[in-house]
Amino acid sequence: MEGLSYNFNKIERKKTFDVSAFVSAYYFSYKPRFVPRPETYDFSQIFLILEGEGLYTTENGTYPFSPGMMFYRPAHHTSSYKWTSENVRFGLISLVCDSEAMNALGSAPIPLFGDEIASLFDLIRTGTRVCEELRATDEMLGMRFKPDTPDVVIDFLSASIERFLCMLYCRICGVELLIDESQKSNKYIDETVFSENIKKFLEEHITEQLTISRICAEFGISQTTLMKKFRRENGQGIMDYFMNRKIAEAKRLIHGTSKSFAEIAECLGFNSANYFSRVFKAREGITPTEYSKSVSKRNVTKL
């Protein structure tokens, strides 16, 4: 019996977004020490704002940005940004993509919905494991992939950013086959309000040793729902966020007051100065003492 042959309706793949090169992906839990200035690159950049506010200036104008937004810096265009707040967290992706569809991202910052934030932050988080900072003295000059990064990881990152760009493009251009914009918008608004209320509560109790159970009791919500919603909206766990806020406040106290490390530890609800020092170093890469010296050194230099 002869084998049967079939004809299939094949669709030739024409990529809407084609990321031809990946430069870096990184996450910042602090305000960069360098002062951003107008710059032009031969690659593009995507910023995800998780905390903090600022202004983004392009050839077309100046636009404010705030948490939950992304802005796109096209290759070969001059732009700059500056922070207008001290507490800052953001993700940064540098890539090469010459696809015409990138023009849909426009000049102004774009508000992202919950799932979009989570997808982009997952990509950035993967990048932090395979990228490293370039430094001269204590100034950050940029990022690069570690020399031993496997090609398949670069492929994964490229595919992930292409997926994110397709998802965002569909919403911006009204392609409803992949997204119901009205339902997603309502979901985003609800979760944003919920997240902001949680963060306000954490800020008001930053001197305490809060637990997940305490927060759940305060808002009448289950642990699973709390952690899922908060991570989806902010790109990190709620207790990680709370500890990052404690460390940010500790840095402010070290820089702006004469409190001892023991006093700061007690003020922020740490069990001991030693525990405070361990947490500080784990999150900042330096001890409180080293941070204090670096701050003092910069102040002397300014004088």
The predicted-structure confidence for 11-52, as pLDDT tens digits, reads as follows 777 889 999 988 888 888 777 776 677 788 889 999 999 888
Query: What's the whole-number mean pLDDT along residues 157-174?
Result: 87
Q: How much is the mean pLDDT over the chain?
A: 82
| Residue 143 binned pLDDT confidence (cut-offs 50, 70, 90) | confident
| pLDDT given at position 114 | 67
Angle in degrees, CA 51, 54, 58, rounded to 5: 130
pTM of full prediction above 0.85: no
Residue 230 parent element (H or E):
helix 223-234
For 31, 173, 181, the CA distances from 111, given in Å and listed in that order, are 21, 14, 13
Q: How far apart are CA 145 and CA 1, in angstroms?
A: 56
Check if the beta carbon of residue 252 is closer than 8 Å to that of residue 86.
yes
Question: Which residues, 6+ apart, have CB-to-CB distance to 178 below 8 Å?
Answer: 166, 167, 170
Residue for token digits 């100034």? Answer: 139
Query: What's the whole-number mean pLDDT along residues 271-296?
Result: 88
